[in-house]
Structure 1
Amino acid sequence: MARRCEEADGIAPFNERTTLAMSMNPDRSRRHFVVPLNDSMVAYAGAEVVGDVAEAELAVDPDHRGKGVGGRLLDAVVDWIGPAASELRVWGHGDLPSSARFAEARGFDRVRVLFQFSRSLEGFPWPAAWPEGAGRNWPVGDAPAASLPAGSACGRSGPGGTRPSGCG
């Protein structure tokens, strides 16, 4: 179903967190909502409550859109959340007009837009060496060695650490 949505919309319907959560069992803070039809799934929503905020993502198979499936799915999410959260954030990927109309009709406001920027690294002048602590998984090339300003260091956080690995 997600693959069919991606083919129709030009973008994957779920972020990595939702995709990974699909393999986790539901618990007090996380639920899976599925709309089955015969031997297939025509819609899915994943919802999670963290503190007093709930987040959800949902998708409806392209052949089943415009038939109220998404609205019923969102109603189920809202009913499950109930008073457990003071805010529900529903993520939409791709800034699709149909998703915007659906959200607006359901009383949601657009409050955040994320942009993804990228560029080709073809011809990028990779440094001949990286600062100590940067790790070994970085490409090297013919450019001058990378250096850090005085007082900066590279390192990795251990499990449960609050700082991601990297330099700073």
Structure 2
Amino acid sequence: MSSTEPTADRIVRADRLAPVEVAEVLALARVAGDTDGADPLDEHVLLRLRDPEAAAVHLTARATDNTLTGYAHLDTTDPANGIGVELVVHPTYRRRGTGRALARGVLAAASGPLRAWAHGDHPSAAALAVDLGFARARVLWQLRRPLIAALPEPPLPDGVQLRAFRPGEDDAAWLTLNNAAFAQHPEQGRWTSADLRVRLTEPWFDPAGFLLAVDSVTGRLLGFHWTKVHERPGSARIGEVYVLGVDPSAHRGGLGKALTAAGLTYLRDRRGLDRVMLYVDESNTRAVGLYEGLGFARWAAHVNYQLGGLTS
């Protein structure tokens, strides 16, 4: 991607992809992820790829034999707050200008400020970002820990009990709590009922692994730990602390630590996993400290680059 040589690939812009094209993009992303050790497209993009109604711009790069050599996704849902960009080049076709051509296609297609993720913080992505005037603005850490090691067992605060999420019954209350817990978060704090619903229909969704902390008397939701299990042919299974949140009024009572431990125990004892990961913003020092205190260590970094009119 850092090559300055012009590419012979054909760059095509589209507002929709045919199912066969979506399959090609997913296959390309799997190969790139296996090669780089970090998936190039995040869950949000993968969900949008499968949604024909999602507002997006797709850029595909194809060699002279029509092989898909690269792909860029522009999420145009909210241009004023930054068009989300993710870009991937097939490992076999790197260092021949494809990434740069796609990036210039992104600039030509964009009508507002940009937020571009570089998963894995690869040097080629950093070089390309600098060349095109993007600024490094945010770092998301992936942390991991083994589950075969002893797990902490912090108690729940008095008057709090755990139960499983009930699809269709807890949706509205959970959305309210989630958006309050992540009010300052650029992605998680803006979830809608549609965002929740699409994940509840994913093959990996397991309500038993979606733990809710509730007031024992009133039943009010106080916090949650939503776990996820990643299963891909040819790869070892790994659990994830998918989303963990606590009502702002319930902070500093140990609930976050207790919820984390409960989810880890579920992934080990109920799902038979031996390792787990999570994502956390580098700037969220409180959360980083919580997770490192629970035995997590840094595994990889994902960097967000920004261009034009954004302050965070």
Q: For this structure pair, what is the TM-score category when the shorter chain's length is used for normalisation?
A: 0.7 to 0.9
On the 8 A contact 1:42/1:61 being kept in 2, the answer is yes
Match of 1:162 among 176, 179, 189: 176
Match of 1:81 among 102, 110, 126: 110
Task: State the TM-score, normalizing by the size of structure 1.
Answer: 0.72
Match of 1:54 among 68, 83, 89: 83
Other-structure match for 1:65: 94
On the 8 A contact 2:57/2:76 being kept in 1, the answer is no
Counterpart-to-counterpart distance in 1, 2:135 and 2:99: 17
Other-structure match for 1:149: 158
Matched residue of 1:162: which SS?
helix
On the 8 A contact 1:2/1:13 being kept in 2, the answer is yes
Identify which of structures 1 and 2 has the higher relative contact order when contacts are C-alpha pairs closer than 8 Å and 6+ apart. 2
Write out aligned runs for 1:7-22 (5 A). 7-22=34-49
On the 8 A contact 1:103/1:109 being kept in 2, the answer is yes
Gaps of 5+ in 1: 128-143
Counterpart-to-counterpart distance in 1, 2:133 and 2:52: 30
Task: State the TM-score, normalizing by the size of structure 2.
Answer: 0.42
Moved runs in structure 1, 4+ residues, more than 3 A?
123-127, 152-157
Give, in angstroms, the shift of residue 4 of structure 1: 2.5
Give, in angstroms, the shift of residue 154 of structure 1: 5.2
After superposition, the CA RMSD in angstroms is 2.6
The code of the aligned residue for 2:98 comes to V
Matched residue of 2:110: which SS?
helix
On the 8 A contact 2:56/2:74 being kept in 1, the answer is yes
Gaps of 5+ in 2: 1-27, 179-210, 214-221, 223-312
Match of 1:103 among 125, 129, 137: 129
Matched residue of 2:144: which SS?
coil
Give, in angstroms, the shift of residue 66 of structure 1: 2.3
Identity score, percent: 27
Q: Which structure is higher in helix share?
A: 2
